Structure 1
Amino acid sequence: MTFVSPAEPESNRKLAYLLLAIALFIGVLMLPTPEGLSASGQVALGLLVLVIVLWISECVSPATSAIILTGAAVLGLMGKPLRAGGPPLSSAGALNAMLTGYSSSAVLLVASALFLAVALKLTGLDRRVALLVMSKVGVSRSRLIIGAMLVGFVLALFIPSATARVGAVIPIMVGITAALGLPITSSLGATLMIVTASACSVFNMAVKTGAAQNLISLNFMQQAFGHTVTWGAWFVAALPFVIALCVVLYFAALLVLRPEVPGKAEAEARLAEELGKLGSVTPAEMRLMAVAMLLLVMWSTEGSLHPFDTATTTQIGIALLLMPRIGVMHWAQAEKLVPWGTIVLFAAGISLGTLMSTTGAAAWLAQATLGRLGLEALPIFLVVGALSLFSIVLHLGFASATGLASTLIPIMIAFAKTLPFGEQAAFGIVLIQSMVVSFGFILPTNAPQNMLCYGTGAFTIAQFAKVGLIVTIAGWLLILLLSATWWPMIGVL
């Protein structure tokens, strides 16, 4: 009798998806070049198909997908001009074209912000903040939901990784549920886990530095429009949207999941006990708080009180945290905890988006898809609504918002520039779409933080989808409303 390892079917599935991705890439290159698309642009579209299959199937790690993307790009671009009338690319030239993303300041910003997340984890400050907020808010079903949201917001100000934020909060929510004598599969456990995951997606949209997909979108916008948006301007633009979405999430969780809280004395005692275990605030935590507050002030006053951009101030903050006596960690500690695969994927995504723009593939694809919908004849708020609906539906197939941003934003930029609303409005349209990229509310597979919470076994896919559909529909309606009112009023549109 032959025994099959449980890992073998999964390995076979991953290999099948990898071979499918490669076959589709080769298939796109073998097709006749469409009218209006250059040979290098056709290669860029082939690479887009390749990485979409790799990202959706997750058949290889993020870093491996970046290596495959780069190798395929070199093989596909060799002998073809990058731009019309340019010289054919050598292997070195093709490789340079696919390494442009690694020199982007946005990559430095993401790396620096991930180091900040590591500092919070090493000192335990993230856990202290979460416990403190939950203990101050109180224990009742309404207060616990609000507390979970407040924890998500506070951590989003300082931790740019959704996975890191949710990873810090999950043990606390599990502990609260257990302290009330309830299993994690109870209605309260399901509510806390779903709210934790969904609030994380909401606050990704609230804070410019809250998520890598925001930064990758802004990098493309900087290249296309010659300017970006400050931390404070992003926050002001997103604030009404985020507040309204939090209200919707609160009532959706309360009415759909109907959490039950039998008593609060034990939970309050548990929270106090966990806080007590942390002891008094350590000197390292105090230094980290000082640097974090300095960064928050510098980010929020960017462009008004000082000339430094977000990437520069964040890099300076990380330099302080790595200094002897002044800092809270050293390189050997930090490098083991930083998710380097995320940084590599981020840089590769920028490289692909830049290639699509440079070769004209993004403009061609925008006209071949969005350009056929007749949106240019509609009012701007309906255009934003239609594009947002397109993004939301597309997100259902993606497990990585970074991957979605790398795929979608260059196409949105190319299309927005063809609309008869002016360049400032085009910038605003893309800015709104960069927020919509974080709409990972419907399926657990739509975002890593969803999967972390789903992995606790607290809720079913159906429960998550019921709450997520309400939040998604309400969010889309809010986009229509704000596109007709708030965003034109503040000059976004």
Structure 2
Amino acid sequence: MSLSFISPPEPESNRKLAYLGLAILLYVGMLLLPTPAGLTTSGQVALGLLVLVIVLWISECVSPANSAIVLTGAAVLGLMGHPLRAGGPPMSSTAALSTMLTGFSSTAVLLVAAALFLAVALKLTGLDRRVALLVMSKVGISPSRLILGAMLVGFVLALFIPSATARVGAVIPIMVGVTAALGLPVASSLGATLMIVTASACSIFNMAVKTGAAQNLISLNFMEQAFGHTISWGGWFVTTLPFTLGMCVVLYIAAILVLRPQVPAKAEAEARLAEEVSKLGPITAAEKRLMAVAVLLLALWSTEGTLHPFDTATTTQIGIALLLMPRIGVMHWSQAEKLVPWGTIILFAAGISLGTLMATTGAAAWLAQVTLGQLGLGALPVFMVVGALSLFSIVLHLGFASATGLASTLIPIMIAFAQTLPVGREVAFGIVLIQSFVVSFGFILPTNAPQNMLCYGTGAFTIAQFAKVGVIVTVAGWLLIMLLSATLWPMMGVL
């Protein structure tokens, strides 16, 4: 019988299968090693799981949701028969599974899910496109004004959309349209500039807004468990404000000097933009209702802990409930569920479960001691400790495509290490808080963040162009963190 109709496996499938096999092999190998001194058997399993997911996340051999399923299954098999804590009873499969499902009960997961529903509402009503077009039509047609317009659009959308991918996905068609309206190809100097600025500004505003990125919420979840308190939406915004303003200035200068964008006569572009705005038509009733809810949420977020006692998760849930109500709302569940990236939510919850497991079993503390603890950082001034940890995080980020995955991996280790330093709990909290900002440093390679890859997929810029701007922004950002850690942040009570 002929088998010629069977297609040979694709090289990409072989590569993914090889990486999956490597991840599993490394995990099993970790479990077979002798348990190191000072580490429990469950802690050894947690470190094995860490190695497993790092390979899965870096290689992207399985989807984010699938990596969470692989992680959970491997954890149950590894933890069965071992006590969660030293001296405790051995865990059954049910107990092990319950341990790995703890992340799904976190309020941070609920907040991420609700915020993604808000992003869907913006997309369904078209309000995100209206905001972006109106901003770009008002800033004017010149390289400097268009760069500022791209940044402004990114900031406004970051206030309401917690998904970097969703924000950039809404902005890319508008930036391509601006470039085309000027009669330029997408790969022109202007097209490259707008796309690189869009991606990099997205990473900056991930750090600026507490609800701007899932990695912020996963970091704060770990910090609240470890330190017993968190930071409000307004407190986060004020803390990051001098840093993000400085980063925007650096990005603006780097884009102008490195990419040197050029534009032709502006009359046609202004006419095209005006035409696009006119196609939007008048503001719909649904858009007005959504704007009312968005403004209400922004007011509640920014006054959290001062004018009312409700946390960000609670107020966001109220907002989503309003958006789903008949007549008052702007969407139905059947519409929203098709557009929400459920895989992101599953990965987020699994990441919290892994971080909690590492903290509970002592694996994070052990790993922090045998790595960061050997650097002698405890004798250094706090700002130098922050600088060393930030540099460590930046280098580690080069291998990660998911900031959520990096936060799940890195923040528990940073917490464990900060707790060993000869500083108070508030200062230790501040040190980890700054590291949660650095998790969003995805400036150097297109593969460092999903929004980078979306912009790179337009063909507007080369990897070399992106890296030239990214290295400048990264180095300047690291130096700015050191400067603020030595001056302003201690004065603000962060350190």
Equivalent in the alignment of 2:145 = 143
Show the counterpart of 1:82: 84
CA–CA separation in structure 2 for the residues paired with 1:164 and 1:264: 29
- In the TM superposition, residue 267 of structure 1 has moved relative to its aligned partner by 1.1
Q: Corresponding residue for 2:443?
A: 441
Q: 2:134 corresponds to which letter in structure 1? A: L
**1:2, CA displacement in angstroms?**
7.1
Query: Unpaired segments of 5 or more residues in structure 2?
Result: none
Moved more, 249-258 or 6-15: 6-15
The one-letter code of the counterpart of 1:15 is: L
Task: Work out the CA distance in 2 between the residues paired with 1:183 and 1:70.
Answer: 47
Q: CA deviation at 1:5?
A: 5.8
In the alignment, structure 1 residue 160 sits paired with structure 2 residue 136: no
* Deviation at residue 449 of structure 1 after TM alignment: 0.1
Distance 1:255 1:48, change over 3 A: same
Q: Give 1:264 deviation, angstroms.
A: 1.0
Residue of structure 1 aligned with 2:197, choices 192, 195, 198: 195
Q: Counterparts of 1:375-390 in structure 2 under 5 Å?
A: 375-390=377-392
Match 1:236 to one of 218, 235, 238: 238
What SS does the aligned partner of 2:337 have? Answer: helix
SS at structure 2 position matched to 1:336: coil
1:343 positional shift:
0.1
2:220 counterpart residue number: 218
Give the SS at the match of 2:338.
helix
Q: In structure 2, what residue type is equivalent to 1:49?
A: V
The corresponding residue for 1:21 is: 23
Structure 1 residue 107 displacement after superposition: 0.2
Asked if residue 484 in structure 1 is aligned to residue 458 in structure 2, the reply is no
The Cα offsets for residues 93-129 of structure 1, whole Å up to 9 and x where unpaired, read as 0000000000000000000000000000000000000
1:263 correspondence with 2:265: yes
Code of the aligned partner of 1:448: P
Instruction: Supply the distance in 2 between the matched residues of 1:420 and 1:4 (Cα, whole angstroms).
Output: 64
In structure 2, the partner of 1:342 is 344
Q: Deviations over 1:285-342 (max 9, x none)?
A: 0000000000000000000000000000000000000000000000000000000000
1:4 CA drift (Å): 9.2
Structure 1 residue aligned with 2:207: 205
For 2:255 and 2:94, the matched residues in 1 are separated by: 54
The alpha-carbon deviation at position 7 of structure 1 amounts to 6.7
Q: 2:322 aligns with which of 320, 323, 346?
A: 320
User: Which deviates further from its counterpart, 49-58 or 266-275?
Assistant: 266-275
Paired letter, 1:226: G
Match of 1:470 in 2: 472
The Cα RMSD (Å) is: 1.1
SS at match of 2:249: helix
**Partner SS for 1:35:** coil
Following superposition, the deviation at residue 6 of structure 1 comes to 8.9
- Provide the C-alpha distance between the structure 2 equivalents of 1:266 and 1:399, rounded to a whole number of angstroms: 39
Deviations 1:418-463 (A, max 9, x none): 0011110000000000000000000000000000000000000000
Q: Measure, in 2, the Cα distance between the counterparts of 1:154 and 1:104.
A: 28
Alignment correspondent of 2:304: 302
Q: Aligned equivalents of 1:195 and 1:82: distance in 2?
A: 46
The one-character-per-residue Cα deviations of 1:203-234 (angstroms, maximum 9, x if unpaired) are 00000000000000000001000010000000
User: What is the match of residue 425 of structure 1?
Assistant: 427
Tell me the residue number matched to 1:100: 102
What SS is found at the alignment partner of 1:337?
A: coil
1:114-167 per-position Cα deviation (integer Å, ceiling 9, x unaligned): 000000000000000000111111110000000000000000000000000000
Number of aligned pairs?
A: 493
Offset, 1:3: 9.3
Q: How does 1:34-113 map to 2 (within 5 A)?
A: 34-113=36-115
> How far apart, CA to CA, are the structure 2 residues paired with 1:185 and 1:5?
36
Question: What secondary structure, in the 3-state scheme, does the structure 1 residue paired with 2:10 have?
Answer: helix
- Describe the shift of the 1:295–1:280 C-alpha distance in structure 2 as closer, same or farther (beyond 3 A): same
Q: 1:5 to 1:429 in 2, by over 3 A?
A: farther
State the distance in 2 between where 1:175 and 1:373 align. Answer: 50
Change beyond 3 A, Cα 1:247–1:104: same
**Which letter maps to 1:335?**
E
Shift of 1:263: 1.5
Q: CA deviation at 1:41?
A: 0.1
Per-residue CA deviation, residues 229-254 of structure 1 (Å, 9 max, x unaligned), is 00000000000000000000000000
2:394 is matched with 392
Deviations 1:381-410 (A, max 9, x none): 000000000000000000000000000000
SS in 1 for 2:308: coil
State the 1:64 CA deviation: 0.6
The percent of aligned pairs where both chains have the same amino acid is 85
The equivalent of 1:124 in structure 2 is: 126
* AA of the residue aligned to 1:312: T
Could you tell me which amino acid in structure 2 is paired with residue 484 of structure 1?
A
State the alpha-carbon separation in 1 of the partners of residues 172 and 73 from structure 2: 38
CA–CA separation in structure 2 for the residues paired with 1:331 and 1:307: 29
* 1:265 Cα deviation from its structure 2 partner: 1.0
Q: Counterparts of 2:470 and 2:305 in 1: how far apart (Å)?
A: 36
Which of 456, 459, 464 matches 2:458? 456
Cα distance change, pair 9–386 in 1 and its aligned pair in 2 (3 A):
same
Q: How does 1:245-260 map to 2 (within 5 A)?
A: 245-260=247-262
TM-score, normalised to structure 2, is 0.99
Q: Offset at 1:378?
A: 0.3
What's the counterpart of residue 371 of structure 2? 369
Mapped to 1, the partners of 2:466 and 2:210 lie a distance apart of 26
AA in 1 matched with 2:108: A
The alpha carbon displacement at 1:34 in A equals 0.3
- Secondary structure in structure 2 of the residue aligned to 1:276: helix
Amino acid at match of 1:324: P
**Alignment partners' CA distance in 1, 2:266 and 2:388:** 46
Q: What amino acid maps onto 2:166 in structure 1?
A: A
Distance 2:247 2:470 in 1: 11
Counterpart residue number, 2:413: 411
Partner SS state of residue 404, structure 1: helix
Q: Segments of 4+ in structure 1 off by > 6 A?
A: 1-4
Counterpart amino acid of residue 161 in structure 1: S
Cα displacement (A) at 1:173: 0.3
Query: Counterparts of 2:104 and 2:346 in 1: how far apart (Å)?
Result: 8
